[in-house]
Structure 1
Amino acid sequence: MQTTENSAAKTAESNLEQQLPENGSGCSMDYSNVHILNELNRDTDKLAEKLKDFIRDQVTVFKKKGVVLGVSGGVDSAVALTLCVQEFGKENVYGLLLPEKESAPSSKTLGAEICENLGVSYEEVPISPILEALDIYNKKEQIIKRTCPEYDPRVHKTSLVLPDFLNQGLLNVPYLRLIKDGETVARYRLKANDYLELIGLQGVKQRSRMVVQYMHAEKLNYVVCGTTNKTELVLGQFVKYGDGGVDLEPLADCYKTQIYALAKHLKVNEEIIKRPPSADTWSHYTTDEEFYWRMPMHVIDQLLYAQEHKLSLEITEKNTGLPRDTIEKAWKHIDRVKDTTEYIRAAPPVFYLER
């Protein structure tokens, strides 16, 4: 790995002014009457050009010939793929579809479709055999069965969710949900040890995908391009040495809201834009709003933006429409998430002998 996760974090912290000038001219901005969503959705054309310049510069630094991307059928990979094709040409970009047996069928369909629309060469490499060899599915099923007595894999789909923050506040207890014929039929709280084990098992999926991406990148003498956005980066919503273990992260200073604005500007398939964001690692398609964010995307992005720019409670209240006590609780929740995921963003400490 040539670029560790913390390099993306440093980019997000230091390059905002370069990628998205505060008032379009690089000058200081008056935030007293700021409309956050307008700020996140403007100057998308300029942002796209700066992202392409960044991609070009990094590939040049690495002295590589092109770019490999994992294409998931989601909006982040679609935007990254389109930017890479526009900058390098379709002949220097290679797409990988990396499904497993719990992936939604639409992931593969939409991923293949955008590769074909852009004229990008791509390959499907199912990772289920890797996961089966490591007994991931069986171990996961054992946890589900001891948590949910009536679970029957022939009947039920499953998902891991957290309480809606706007309705249940700081309560942060994960639970398993059983779905039958598209309807939730049971919910069970997870024990802490079972939750940690499940997270570890699920992380093997992203790490397996990254192994495959590097295998192809090294064969082609390409870089591996990441697709983590700023909302995910700030909240630690990626797997260390999984989807976070890449050579460059062009989207790491763009909030999820900005990714959707970029997708519209780049004319990404409308079906991808309308698809709810998800890690897509459970048999029932579970959105990021149900697990990671615990609130709508436009709300979490406005709260993160307000924190970043030190906006007052009054301005944040005006933008989000949330009561002040809810905003304060949300910021505390976000701070706690940042603290507990700091190790994910950090590079491994290196010991140096004194000289």
Structure 2
Amino acid sequence: MQTEKVADHIINWLKNYATKANMNGFVVGVSGGIDSAVVSTLCAKTGLDTLCLEMPIHQHASHITRARKHIEALEHNFANVSSVETNLTPVFEDFKKAMPQERKFETLDLTLANTRARLRMTTLYYFAGLHKYLVAGTGNKIEDFGIGFYTKYGDGGVDLNPIADLLKSEVYDLGNHLNIIEEIVTAAPTDGLFGDSRSDEEQIGASYDELEWAMKNHDEGKTADDFEGRNKEVFEIYSRLNSANQHKMNPIPVCNIPVHLKK
């Protein structure tokens, strides 16, 4: 990948899109991970206003530390960057109190994790509305179009996404080019939705390098029967998630009413 040219292309794309949309800039949720660090830096480099939001909800301390270090570096280097920390923990706890919490539901923990993402999406759009900003997404190609590893109407609820055509490895290449701080580059990727340090790999069952391999072979029409051992296992993980999460990646189904029924 021609990293410098890709970065310049994305920066120009962001600036042109915002200008044509008559918007003032961008708001980005900064989590302490590589994806949000790269996106917020690319937005900052447009010269347009860039608001970095920290939205902790029972967040692991290391995530908060990395996010703050990154934001401080951006604010030091770019006059157009500002930041706000909005502690959503009390909001999340009030929401839980208002909802039935019967442990008999096996999906309760995942449902609450997705609720965190949706509270953050609402917060991003609150600030976007105040300042006439665009909400910049931070999902990479594997997450957005490979396995659907995001929350519908949570971190998937954005106005535009500058890195959705980049594999995770390519995001890291951009991160190195953009001089993202070392703690973020070397940190294990995590969605931070469970209030602990569990990594994406622990949740998914495969690393991003493995998933990139599986995505390439899946797109080439290969099947699990073409592989053995760990490769077969990874390919099956990718295929299962890709199939299960099509509802996130495809447009919302619309019930088309036959013309004769409307007459």
Pairwise TM-score range, normalised by the shorter structure: 0.7 to 0.9
Check if 1:95 corresponds to 2:6. no
Aligned-residue CA RMSD (Å): 2.5
| Cα contact 2:27–2:50 (8 A) shared by 1 | yes
CA 1:114 to 1:338, structure 2 compared with 1: closer, same or farther past 3 Å? same
* Structure possessing the higher radius of gyration over alpha carbons: 1
Structure 2 residue aligned with 1:247, among 128, 135, 159?
159
Distance 1:352 1:295 in 2: 39
Report how far residue 68 of structure 1 moved: 0.4
* Alignment check: 8 A CA contact 1:136 1:201 kept: no
Question: Distance in 2 between the 1:107 and 1:299 partners?
Answer: 24
2:71 corresponds in structure 1 to 115
What is the match of residue 349 of structure 1? Answer: 253
Is residue 63 from structure 1 mapped to residue 12 from structure 2 by the alignment?
no
Equivalent in the alignment of 2:236: 332
Question: TM-score, structure 2 length as denominator?
Answer: 0.87
TM-score (normalised: structure 1): 0.65
Q: Secondary structure at the match of 1:226?
A: coil
Give the % identical residues: 28
Higher relative contact order (CA 8 A, sep 6+): 1
Give the C-alpha shift of residue 262 in structure 1. Answer: 0.8
The verdict on how the C-alpha distance between 1:79 and 1:88 changes in structure 2, with shifts beyond 3 A counting, is same
CA shift in 2, pair 1:139/1:303, >3 Å: same
2:25–2:134: 8 Å Cα contact kept in structure 1?
Answer: yes
Question: SS of 1:243's equivalent?
Answer: coil
Question: Does 2:156 correspond to 1:197?
Answer: no
What residue number does 1:104 align with?
A: 60
TM-superposed CA distance for 1:63, in Å, is 1.8
Q: Alignment partner of 1:264: what SS?
A: helix
Q: In 2, Cα distance between the equivalents of 1:139 and 1:267?
A: 46
Equivalent-residue separation in structure 2 for 1:71 and 1:286 (angstroms):
18
Q: Tell me how far 1:311 sits from its aligned partner.
A: 7.5
Matches within 5 A, 1:47-196: 47-89=6-48, 92-101=49-58, 103-119=59-75, 120-135=81-96, 143=103, 193-194=105-106, 196=107
CA contact (8 A) 1:58 1:248 kept: no
The answer on whether the counterparts of 1:85 and 1:93 sit within 8 Å (CA) in structure 2 is: yes
Give the gaps of 5 or more residues in structure 2: 76-80
2:136 to 180, 201, 225: 225
- Code of the residue aligned with 1:299 in structure 2: it is E
1: CA distance, partners of 2:97 / 2:249: 25
Query: May I ask how many residue pairs the two structures share in their alignment?
Result: 252
